Structure 1
Amino acid sequence: MPRRLTGAAPCIERVATRVADASDTPDAPDTPGASEASEAERAVILEEFWADAAHRGTPLIEAIDGDPDHCVATFLWRGHRATRQVLLLAEGIVDRTDLAASRLSPLPGTDIWHLSYRLRADHRASYRMAADISPGEPPASAALLQQRLLSLSVYAAPDPLNSRRMAGRWPDRDASVFELPQAPARQWTERAAAGVPWGRVERHRLPAGVLGAERDVWAYLPPGYKAAELPVLVLCDGDMWFGRLAFQDTLDALIADGALPPLAVLAPDAVDRDTRRRELDAHESHVSFLADELLPWAAGRWPLTTDPARTLVAGQGLGGLTSLYAGFLRPERFGNVLAQSAPVSRLSGGPSRPVAVRLDVGLREGEILDHHRDLYEVLRSRGCPVTLGEYNGGHDWACWRCCLAEGLVELLGH
């Protein structure tokens, strides 16, 4: 795990020194107005600190002398008298089995709560924060404290000092996003430049007999497409990609830049958390829905290719597992697979014929990282065209959205 600093970061040490200096008045203790003057000076120092933090955005990033490959990231919270503790929940950084280690520390005599990590300079992550203002002190028992922090984590929300946000879904709130100076560029992930043609996004409801229920599907159609057969991307979690992350902006930018040919995207909703866990778990029924119901339904409406070499199935987490299973089970329909952070240890067997596979995984994903590396070696030994991309982050939509664009270019850009 990334290393938490045992002492204060330089930015905190500087404000601590200024506050201490303001408290050390040369006047005698009984000098009228001395304490009021020092209190006023401390207030000015703190207001300047918070104004600077709001201007720079948080976490505050500081270079490390002699170590250009790492930075110090300092997370901040402005507390008040009722603040008992502040919790940081950051993907790829926080150990959720020991939330006490992810609490911010108060700077005595101020309203500043802070927590600093030494991180590799290419780190990217989403995070939320939560302040505990319940009466009474936090429990002394480690087990009771962990339980209290787990309860507090439900209320975690974006960092008010960070303007970069990422939408959440279901019970999850929005999250803040930070990236260090050497993080891979977010090429194509923002709204395309003015004047770039926009594709069209439609939402349809179609029968899904094999799943026993109807499904909502997002369809992206490129700007100005002609009658020629379009390449197809089948993308899991359409409600996240199109309902919340505006992935159509990325697609418009990719096509306008010539990095991707005009293509169609079919993205079924995941419905809800329980349905997603139940269906996106390498089940043949869901693969049959994608291959035998979704694709034929779409081909009856738009000019889509039936060439597996120009058809890609992609997903993240359980969606990545489903995508791999679809490519392995139905290579005659899906000739390309892009799987990100998938629990591939649940996968058995392999494709009956070679399919092109790209695997993406975070360096902060523990066993998932090891399993991706193992699967990469297995597929390569079987003659499957496979690449493995590793990014410095965790199980995180903030990382996947960048890797997804790169993966599409790799697999369909030619």
Structure 2
Amino acid sequence: MKLNLPSLALCSLLLLWNAVDAFAQSNNTYSTKGWFGPPPPPFSPVVAPDRHITFRLKAPQASSVQLVFGEWDLRPQAMQRDTAGTWQLTIDPVAPGIYAYNFLVNGVQMPDMNNPETKSGTQLYASIVQVPGNRPRFDERQQVPHGILQTLHYQSTALQRLRGLRVYLPPGYFEQPARRYPVLYLRHGGGDDENSWTQPAGSADVILENLIASNKAVPMIIVMTNGLIDGTWAGGSSPEGVKALQQELLTDVIPLVEKTYHTLPGRDNRAIAGLSMGGGQSMLIGLRNLDRFAWIGEFSSGLLSDKDFKIDEAWPGIVNSSLNEKLHLLWIGCGTKDPRIPGHQDLVHALSQRGVRYEYVTVTGGHEWYVWRVELKGLLEKLFKTPVVYDQAVQLRDEQ
């Protein structure tokens, strides 16, 4: 078949013309008008200058909504519904701080879906609201030099699987490559994970950099590992679990950290501490490895508070006055309203009977993050400073 080139060209031109005409006749209603106005006011939570807090939830189908505010001594408070189906409650002024809260909607707990700041670990626990004061809080991010958070992954020899850890590097780390730093291995509690200490509820990185800026703490690296072996606090507290976590820390984590970062060598430059489940792990692992750690701390450990806990079974032949020559600091802390406080009192009494030097610290509160933030601040102020000034019984409080 013979192609007629002029006819082919004419057909192509007609097709192109029809396409252009089709675009010219499109009915485009898309508009960006109205995008660039001022942002709407916050919906929930709203912190007033006098530190009243207003909480709101849109739930037109709900028959009842309550606010559960705080972490300890929880008392649900009824919220009121308006004609549009929005529930609201304004609570009395609170002290400056970091607070957790949830809603109970028809008896079912849920976070505040209008608030992206949350407390999470093995599950999503609560929403978080921060209340400022007349001056910056010790656990509030301030206009100071900031550090860097990094994530590392490694193969756990003991658990035979890939695991993650978080590392906090202090301000100026990369600007001073010749400088080396001591390391705090900081452990979380049951139900949390390696990220929990650097979430708003923990704020370990924020607390440290504020202390460094005010010359109250030594610049240090903080390493936060996962203290769960099977997703439960019981697994992380069992003898088998602690043994596996000890092997993981000594065999995998410490070598990885010291290979990757500018660390100071030796036990004098390593500390281990933790809260609740992690507090028990820290004490057990630390005192069993005094060739690795010269600074040990625990906050609110349930394992050490148990009425059947036996020092000589946990640390055979270790806990006696000879510890005073090996440890720069043994820190023991608990909230005054925590049911673990009697066990802590028994523990420090037993240490005194054995001639062991320690720092016993209490904070007004229960088994909650407020207590642990205050405890951490006090511990950080003493770590890697020698000689350590001991106060064998002291109560700490939020400076606000």
**TMscore range, shorter length:** 0.5 to 0.7
Match of 1:328 among 267, 270, 287: 287
**Structure 1 residue aligned with 2:168:** 220
Residues 134-154 of structure 1 deviation map (CA, whole Å, 9 limit, x = unaligned): xxxxxxxxxxxxxxx4xx23x
Corresponding residue for residue 99 of structure 2: 126
The reply on whether 1:193 has 2:143 as its aligned counterpart is yes
Of 313-322 and 294-303, deviating more is 294-303
Over 3 Å counting, the alpha-carbon distance change for 1:297 and 1:55 in structure 2 is closer
Offset of 1:297 from its aligned partner? 2.4
Counterpart secondary structure, 2:99: strand
What is aligned with 2:159? Answer: 211
Q: What TM-score do you get using the length of structure 1 for normalisation?
A: 0.63
Structure 2 counterpart of 1:339, from 298, 305, 308 = 298
Counterpart amino acid of residue 372 in structure 2: W
**What is the match of residue 242 of structure 1?**
198
Match of 1:288 in 2: 247
Amino acid at match of 2:284: Y
Q: What is the alpha-carbon distance in structure 2 between the residues aligned to residue 342 and residue 286 of structure 1?
A: 17
1:387 matched to 2:367? The reply is no
Q: What is the match of residue 29 of structure 2?
A: none
Q: Would the aligned equivalents of 2:119 and 2:199 in 1 still touch at CA under 8 Å?
A: no
Match of 1:264 in 2: 221
Determine if contact 2:122/2:231 at 8 Å carries over to the other structure.
Answer: no
1:266, distance to aligned residue in structure 2 (A): 1.7
- 1-structure distance, mates of 2:199, 2:46: 29
- CA 1:171–1:55 in structure 2 vs 1: closer, same or farther (change >3 Å)? closer
Cα distance change, pair 364–77 in 1 and its aligned pair in 2 (3 A): farther
* 2:339 is equivalent to residue 348 of structure 1: no
What SS is found at the alignment partner of 1:249? helix
The equivalent residue for 2:123 is 171
Contact 2:337–2:366 at 8 Å: present in 1 too?
yes
1:122-173 Cα offsets, whole Å, 9 max, x none, are 897733232434xxxxxxxxxxxxxxx4xx23x2x2497xx89553233224
Q: Secondary structure at the match of 1:322?
A: helix
**Which one of the candidate residues 369, 372, 379 is aligned to 1:400?**
372
Matches of 1:109 and 1:205, distance apart in 2: 50
Moved more, 323-332 or 305-314: 305-314
Change (3 A) 1:342 1:271: closer
Helix, strand or coil: the match of 2:377? helix
Alpha-carbon offset, residue 229 of structure 1: 4.0
Per the TM alignment, residue 209 of structure 1 is displaced from its structure 2 partner at its CA by 0.6
Q: Once the 2 structures are TM-superposed, how far is the Cα of residue 108 of structure 1 from its aligned partner?
A: 11
1:56 and 2:48 equivalent? yes
Q: Which residue of 2 aligns with 1:361?
A: 334
* Shift in CA distance, 378/116, structure 1 to aligned 2, threshold 3 Å: farther
Are the aligned partners of 1:315 and 1:322 in contact in 2 as well (CA < 8 Å)? yes
2:14 aligns with none
User: What CA RMSD, in Å, does the superposition of the two structures yield over aligned residues?
Assistant: 4.0
2:182 partner letter: P
Query: Which residue identity does 1:235 align to in structure 2?
Result: L
1:251 paired with 2:208, answer yes
2:43 aligned with 1:84, yes or no?
no
Cα distance change of structure 1 residues 390 and 93 upon mapping to structure 2, 3 Å threshold: same
Distance 1:361 1:57, change over 3 A: farther
CA distance in 1, matches of 2:297, 2:80: 46
Q: Is the 8 A contact 1:177 1:398 kept in 2?
A: no
Offset from partner CA, 1:265-300 (integer Å, 9 cap, x none)? 221134687255413446222122223332122222
Greater share of helix: 1
Deviation, 1:398, is 3.4
What amino acid is aligned across from residue 171 of structure 1 in structure 2? Q
User: CA, structure 1 residues 116+212, in 2 after alignment: closer, same or farther (shift >3 Å)?
Assistant: same
Contact 2:57 2:87 in 1 (8 A): yes
Map residues 91-102 of structure 1 onto 2, 5 A cutoff. Answer: 91-94=71-74, 102=75
Read off the aligned partner of 1:257 and give its amino acid letter: S
* CA 165–391 in structure 1, closer or farther in 2 if over 3 Å, else same: farther
Identity %: 18
> Deviations along 1:38-96, whole A, 9 cap, x unmatched?
xxxxxxxxxxxxx9x946379849xxxxxxxxxxxx999898784335252532212xx
Q: Is the 8 A contact 1:232 1:266 kept in 2?
A: yes
For the structure 1 residues 158 and 395, does the alpha-carbon distance in structure 2 shift closer, same or farther, using more than 3 Å as the test?
farther
Summarize the Cα distance change of 1:228–1:75 in structure 2 as closer, same or farther, 3 Å threshold: closer
Task: Give structure 1 stretches of 5+ with no counterpart.
Answer: 1-50, 62-73, 95-101, 134-148
- Tell me, in whole angstroms, the C-alpha distance in 1 between the residues paired with 2:103 and 2:261: 47
After TM superposition, give the deviation of residue 321 of structure 1 in Å.
0.8
**The 10-residue stretch of structure 1 (331-340 or 297-306) with the greater mean CA deviation from structure 2:** 297-306
- Cα distance in 2 for partners of 1:202, 1:255 equals 19
The offset of 1:112, in angstroms, is 8.1
Shift of 1:239: 1.5
**Equivalent residues of 1:103, 1:115 under 8 A apart:** no
Conserved in 1, the CA contact under 8 Å of 2:81 and 2:88? no
Task: State the TM-score, normalizing by the size of structure 2.
Answer: 0.65
